[in-house]
Structure 1
């Protein structure tokens, strides 16, 4: 997008972009200095959400509205019954640190697209498909669903995206939720399971992701259309960034343990993008950043509204349960309860509940019984990954259906063995963690 195109954008779109950037800066100031209250840092989210209403699908608006109404009702009843008003402040915070992380990570697209856009001829065959699976997985671990659009648009150029290609992109994306610190799943889980440690979650998440990728690779390579299906031409230039960023987050977390992982990911994403542009494209740095603020940030509308609504819902549920002195959690949260929770959350995903909603609800209800937050954290990550991969209502599956015309029924058929396999794997991971942690 050039300067002339930017100037023709609607004023509401431009204001939305700068409002979200303001929220990002306020959130970083809050996290690093505590000079600004959390609810002040979250205030711009509400303005941005109001400005973004017109950019959202009716189904997304309905889902967010239901969560907001349910949460507000819970808050009203809870406060009326004498509940703690801190839950009201938590609602106004609007999950601002998670939204700040999403905004910061979105800037990485400026760098990532320069490594994976190519006009090369698409290579066919099993090897090409496997490279697409593993390469897209690494890219998606950093820039999330944008990678699916970039790779998918290239694969579908002059030809229809095949079900096998769609399955490859779906698995590459959904498996990221098991381990990636740049994925929204990790941010939500670290807040929903306070006390969970990034290192522990990644130690168990990475092997789980590898098992899922190996199973997916086996399934893809044995598909009857594998030999004639085209993959994406992956190069080292597309893969160095996700690997480097993951290493930077781990190192920073080791030397700056007082900062939350969400803050570190947010800070590293912004600094990395600025450093890259200043070193590689100093003359165009300002226009790249301005283009993303004006065009890229407003595209986060559905995520911003959903995380805001989820924050209100979580606060409302917590306030209501406290005021009514209800205890829905089991007496203890062990591997057995974790397996039941995993099954329930995957089931909720299959009927359309967004993983953000299910994760915050599970955290609100179960935390009073949780003695080991890492166990809950692993459970939530597994449920997010498996649920997104299986549910025809997940964002990535809806994108594959609407953007590339891949049938939801076709994906369900291709997933008929993956679901039971990953649930069994998830149970084994939870029991293994419990046994090792004692």
Structure 2
């Protein structure tokens, strides 16, 4: 997840990092530190976290990809308008000083995960091997999936660039990269999708989601293995096979997170643990070079890498403001009497899943559909684990098929394939995965 299904694919600046961008990066770092301080119950106003992140978003606004700027601007304006209508038309009480805190937990997690870039410099050690044919499809999918479960979009570039160095990237390889990464959203605790799911469904049981999400990801790999060789000639198509050393970092970090979650700090959510644990590990690993070394690397990270996260930071904050506005308006206009569904069972969950995926096909990021859904439910009577699973499943399939999703925009920008062509080629995959999701939803509703 450094660069989590990244919403802005331009992660560099044309003329170097300006003073404005450096200030924004420092503001993001301050927001992260303020969020971590909340875990220790520091006597600080939590609204300051939102102020720091929003200051960075405003400073970086002009650098956003136009599509991200349009979506983020639209969400923010609608959210503010709904809050204003709620107060002046329906006399709702609005804490205007606290409206900027939506999704700050998720943004802080994304920033924390970006500190993986300070661990070892490169995420993929040498020793990888090439493979061809159907075996190459499996190895490529597995490599991207396992690395992407923690490193997110950077794993696609690692594997894709490695294959491209041996020749042109073909459509079959790009589809495999797309599906290998997006399917990790079904279960990985390091994905932005998990942060959002835990934000809208705070009582979600991660173990319950993992039981269904991990097999779903495996089936996504199996579908890719069976479908891609059937549709494309792969005799000379290059694949990518990870060396065991490449898996050391993902496995170690996942084990640490589970250790803290179940043993050391069971009172903290996985999102909270990831937020502070990865930066702490990164700093500890750099400490043998001297105390000043990790400080310098952290400041350099804040000046360069954090401003490049402008897309995800801005869109997630805007989605949080939109969610607050929509939920406040709904409650004010209906007197807290209206909800989208009287109950949230298998049928309602399936309808919600379809709606979010369709919105992704239409060009909206899955967080918008997930946020809108959560704002129209009575979370006190909703099965949070089922809601969380629907969010993750819709994100995993929606990111694969959505022509303007972060992964598809990145593949288009880096390797030159059209996002709408990827969408058309992924329609059979999305339909098959949706059938499996419906079955998983029905089973989850029955047993949880």
Q: Answer 1 or 2: which has greater helix percent.
A: 1
Provide the residue aligned with 1:165 in structure 2: 173
Is 1:348 equivalent to 2:359 in the alignment?
A: yes
Secondary structure of 1:406 counterpart: coil
Provide the residue aligned with 1:434 in structure 2: 445
Q: 2:164 aligns with which of 156, 160, 166?
A: 156
Is 1:307 equivalent to 2:316 in the alignment?
A: yes
Quote the offset at 1:250 in angstroms: 1.9
Provide the residue aligned with 1:400 in structure 2: 411
2: distance between equivalents of 1:100 and 1:271? 14
Q: Which sits farther off after the overlay, 196-205 or 225-234?
A: 225-234
Is 1:27 equivalent to 2:35 in the alignment?
A: yes
2: distance between equivalents of 1:382 and 1:162? 27
Quote the offset at 1:178 in angstroms: 0.6
* TM-score, structure 1 as length reference: 0.92
* Contact 1:104–1:267 under 8 Å retained in 2: yes
Q: 1:228 aligns with which of 224, 236, 255?
A: 236
Secondary structure of 1:164 counterpart: helix
2: distance between equivalents of 1:168 and 1:367? 38
Secondary structure of 2:100 counterpart: helix
Provide the residue aligned with 2:398 in structure 1: 387
Quote the offset at 1:369 in angstroms: 7.1
Provide the residue aligned with 2:331 in structure 1: 322
Secondary structure of 1:228 counterpart: coil
Quote the offset at 1:115 in angstroms: 3.8
- 1:154–1:54: structure 2 CA closer, same or farther, 3 Å change rule? farther
2: distance between equivalents of 1:182 and 1:412? 25
Secondary structure of 1:104 counterpart: helix
Provide the residue aligned with 1:277 in structure 2: 286
2: distance between equivalents of 1:363 and 1:371? 10
Is 1:411 equivalent to 2:419 in the alignment?
A: no
1: distance between equivalents of 2:242 and 2:382? 44
Secondary structure of 1:417 counterpart: helix
Is 1:292 equivalent to 2:301 in the alignment?
A: yes
Quote the offset at 1:352 in angstroms: 1.1
* Contact 1:162–1:406 under 8 Å retained in 2: no
Q: 1:180 aligns with which of 176, 179, 188?
A: 188
Provide the residue aligned with 1:257 in structure 2: 266
2: distance between equivalents of 1:34 and 1:381? 32
Q: 2:382 aligns with which of 356, 366, 371?
A: 371
Q: Which sits farther off after the overlay, 355-364 or 106-115?
A: 106-115
Q: 2:109 aligns with which of 101, 104, 120?
A: 101
- Kindly provide the CA deviation profile for residues 293-334 of structure 1, in whole angstroms up to 9, marking residues without a partner as x: 221111100111101111110110111011111614111111
Q: 2:93 aligns with which of 84, 90, 104?
A: 84
Gaps of 5+ in 1: none
Quote the offset at 1:406 in angstroms: 1.1
2: distance between equivalents of 1:8 and 1:148? 25
Root-mean-square deviation (CA), in Å? 2.4
* TM-score, structure 2 as length reference: 0.90
Provide the residue aligned with 1:245 in structure 2: 253
- 1:223–1:113: structure 2 CA closer, same or farther, 3 Å change rule? farther
- 1:198–1:121: structure 2 CA closer, same or farther, 3 Å change rule? closer
- Kindly provide the CA deviation profile for residues 97-135 of structure 1, in whole angstroms up to 9, marking residues without a partner as x: 211110110111333752416597754343333222111
- Equivalent pairs counted in the alignment come to 431
- Kindly provide the CA deviation profile for residues 20-73 of structure 1, in whole angstroms up to 9, marking residues without a partner as x: 111100011123315222211211111101111122111211111100000000
Quote the offset at 1:223 in angstroms: 4.6
* Contact 2:102–2:324 under 8 Å retained in 1: no
Secondary structure of 1:292 counterpart: helix
* Contact 1:90–1:311 under 8 Å retained in 2: no
Quote the offset at 1:420 in angstroms: 1.2
2: distance between equivalents of 1:137 and 1:147? 8
Q: Which sits farther off after the overlay, 58-67 or 121-130?
A: 121-130
2: distance between equivalents of 1:143 and 1:47? 27
1: distance between equivalents of 2:129 and 2:25? 36
1: distance between equivalents of 2:184 and 2:401? 14
2: distance between equivalents of 1:281 and 1:123? 42
* Contact 2:140–2:241 under 8 Å retained in 1: yes
- 1:253–1:228: structure 2 CA closer, same or farther, 3 Å change rule? same
- 1:235–1:335: structure 2 CA closer, same or farther, 3 Å change rule? same
* Contact 1:27–1:42 under 8 Å retained in 2: no
Secondary structure of 2:305 counterpart: helix
Secondary structure of 1:341 counterpart: helix
1: distance between equivalents of 2:120 and 2:437? 31
Provide the residue aligned with 1:136 in structure 2: 144
1: distance between equivalents of 2:289 and 2:232? 44
